[in-house]
Structure 1
Amino acid sequence: MELPFRIVNVFGIEGDPFSGNALAVFEEASGLDDSEMQAWARQFNLSEVTFVDDGASTDTARADGPARASVRIFTATYEMPFAGHPTLGTAHVVADRAAAHVGGPVDQVLLTMPAGDIPVRRTSDGWQLQANPPQHRQARATPRQVAAALGVPVTALVTGATQWVSCGVESLVVQVDDLEALRSAAPNPTLMLEHLAMPERPPHAYLWAWTGPDTIEARMFAAAGTTLEEDPATGSACSSLGGWFVGQGRTALEVVVSQGAQTGRPSRLVLTVDSDATIRVAGRVAEVGSGTVSRG
């Protein structure tokens, strides 16, 4: 049995084909069980791989309504209930498939995933997701423990600005006021696991700093055992940053987030927090390849 897939780059920068965060989308995955999906995600070894239930309802898409599909998101080692760049990249694929049934472009997609239904809409050069309302909890680690775990001077941490935030998947949002400290951050995975532990999955920490009135630079780190991973572009954590702004009472804003320079995959995310506290994350989506694999 042959399984078709597509490779898309999400949150990339126009003119740079190797920017953004790469994603593999299995577009006809209804026959795969959990262990097979995990195995294929491990085989592709990208930040995430998504699996679309092609028996869902892309065939019933209407030109005046969203295409609907169920999707599962896997890293190489575990399943994610929600993730930003997989949501946007999968929406691109689902809309393309649905367009064949409605005879024209499909500009809205509703993806059902473990974190719930995520609306996605087309923009001028990509897609924009609407995140779940944020949930907040205070960090138990002290500033010194956070700083040691993330490899930044404790003096660089903005007082009172470290918080766990989830819009479907939880991240520790950490603001620093020293851009060089952000760029030279050297997290210690052992200390991250000790001080920033999370239930069910490795700790994720999102460091960010202002670079202008409406521009931000960010880095996303995950620790697993003695291994440290840095993500090129993290839409879920960008959503959590939007949730952090909501918690601070800051709405009606739009910021451009730069991420991924240290990984060699520069990325651009657009975070919007509406006046009603709705959080949206947008970015460019570019399809770069497709193919099939044999199920065996």
Structure 2
Amino acid sequence: MATPHTLHAGYACCRLSSASRVELAEATGICEAQIAEHAYWLDSGSPQLLLQVYTAAALENARIDYAKLNAVCRADSGRTMIYLWHEQDDTVQARMFYAQNGTILEDNGTGSACANLGAYYLSRGTFPLKRSVRQGDQTGRPNRLSLRVDEAENIYVGGRVVEVGRGVFKLPR
């Protein structure tokens, strides 16, 4: 059974990545013409690199190069991760890639990155707004989030959670 939850994100900072469009294209496997000129580090609680992708096909075909993404992120003293998104009307398709143990993994649903997307919209003066965010389709674990940025510059991320396990930890004294 799915349980609805909503996250309210507070203050966020936004800074330009030092990576060039060429470096971003090489790191993501997406041609330069299909990505924004700049990527941005957003932090509404968890710092992440965000890059807009201009077509759904380019987003679908993203192929992350670990070494190149690592170099892009380390140049800005950031963790090796990137949130790619494509927007069409009020729907956002997103993919979140991150490094773990020397390889790139893809997250099925990233509420913190969705909040950072809201912070990106705020930094551009694009609010109030509502978006439906689709993530996890490429991994076979579709995730649906809602994003809302209100007139007071509050960011809300919502979704439904399905419990897949439960347990208890007992620590030795």
TM-score (norm 1): 0.55
**What amino acid does structure 2 have at the position aligned with 1:148?**
E
The amino acid that maps onto 1:217 is Q
Could you tell me which of 52, 55, 58 is aligned with 1:181? 58
- Does the 8 A contact of 1:242 with 1:271 survive in 2? yes
Aligned-partner Cα distance in 2 for 1:207–1:214: 16
In structure 2, the partner of 1:157 is: 35
**Residue 286 (structure 1) shift:** 2.3
Quote the residue 1:268 is aligned against: 144
- With over 3 angstroms needed to count, the CA separation of the structure-2 counterparts of 1:208 and 1:156, relative to structure 1, is same
Residue in structure 1 matched with residue 4 of structure 2 by the alignment: 126
Q: Distance in 2 between matches of 1:267 and 1:276?
A: 27
For structure 2, the residue ranges without an aligned partner over 5 or more in a row are: none
Task: State the distance in 2 between where 1:139 and 1:205 align.
Answer: 11
Q: 1:53 — aligned with what?
A: none
Residues 20-169 of structure 1 aligned to structure 2 (within 5 Å): 125-160=3-38, 162-169=39-46
Does structure 1 residue 209 correspond to structure 2 residue 67?
no
**CA shift for structure 1 position 158:** 2.4
What is the CA distance between 1:295 and its match in structure 2? Answer: 3.6
Deviations 1:50-74 (A, max 9, x none): xxxxxxxxxxxxxxxxxxxxxxxxx
Alignment TM-score, normalising by the size of structure 2: 0.91
Deviation above 4 Å: which 4+ runs of structure 1?
A: none
Q: Letter of the aligned partner of 2:72 in structure 1?
A: H
Offset, 1:128: 0.5
**Partners of 1:219 and 1:194 in 2: how far apart?**
20
Q: For 1:183 and 1:246, how far apart are their aligned partners in 2?
A: 26
SS in structure 2 at match of 1:193: helix
Contact 1:210 1:217 in 2 (8 A): yes
Question: 1:166-206 CA distances to partner (integer Å, 9 max, x unpaired)?
Answer: 1011111100111111011000011111112254x631210
**Inter-partner Cα distance in structure 1 for 2:32 and 2:111:** 26
Deviation string, structure 1 residues 96-153 (Cα, Å, up to 9, x no partner): xxxxxxxxxxxxxxxxxxxxxxxxxxxxx51101112110111101000011111111
Structure with bigger gyration radius: 1
Supply the AA of the counterpart residue of 1:140: S
CA-atom RMSD in angstroms: 1.8
Q: 2:165 aligns with which of 289, 292, 295?
A: 289
**How far has the Cα of 1:269 moved from its partner?**
0.6
Q: Distance in 2 between matches of 1:192 and 1:288?
A: 32
Cα deviations by residue, 1:212-234 (Å, 9 ceiling, x for unpaired): x1101000011246300110000
How far off its partner does 1:293 sit? 4.4
Aligned length: 171
Q: Distance in 1 between matches of 2:61 and 2:27?
A: 14
| Percent of paired sites with the same residue | 35
